[in-house]
Structure 1
Amino acid sequence: MRVYLQGANQWRDLPLYPPADARPERWHLQSGGGLSTAGAPHSTPDRYRYDPADPTPAVLGMSRIMGPPASRVSAS
């Protein structure tokens, strides 16, 4: 497996993944969108509202997923 190490700014070839010396770490979401290995502080829950009739806009809409309109036209 080939992996890129951002902090070292280099590629490494590994004979297996995860590497034998890998150790799991727990990361916790923090208020304000951060991550930390320290436990998350007590805070009020975040809330999100989603309205399917008014979805989040996407650049170019569905064409990014489905391709340009001409590619969706079927030949009759």
Structure 2
Amino acid sequence: MPTATGFEKRIALAAPQLSRSKCQRLALKLAKRAERMQTVEDFYTALRVLGVSPDPTALDAIRRMETT
């Protein structure tokens, strides 16, 4: 997983007009957001919440699990 320093370097390369402090602040925000995205919700839970399922039988199985 990218670190704040890695994000800072990428931002500095993509937007050289930004000051170093702005790059650091943006990088820290991105690193925190990336960390939250990895830990807050499980991938399959997120799919269930969004109602996205490639297989309709999976939705039926989840409904059965929720009702029992």
TM-score range (shorter-chain normalised) is: under 0.3
Report which structure shows greater RCO (CA 8 Å, sep ≥6): 2
Query: In proportion to residue count, which structure has more strand?
Result: 1
Higher helix share: 2
Looking at CA atoms only, which structure, 1 or 2, has the larger radius of gyration? 1
TM-score normalized with structure 1 length: 0.20
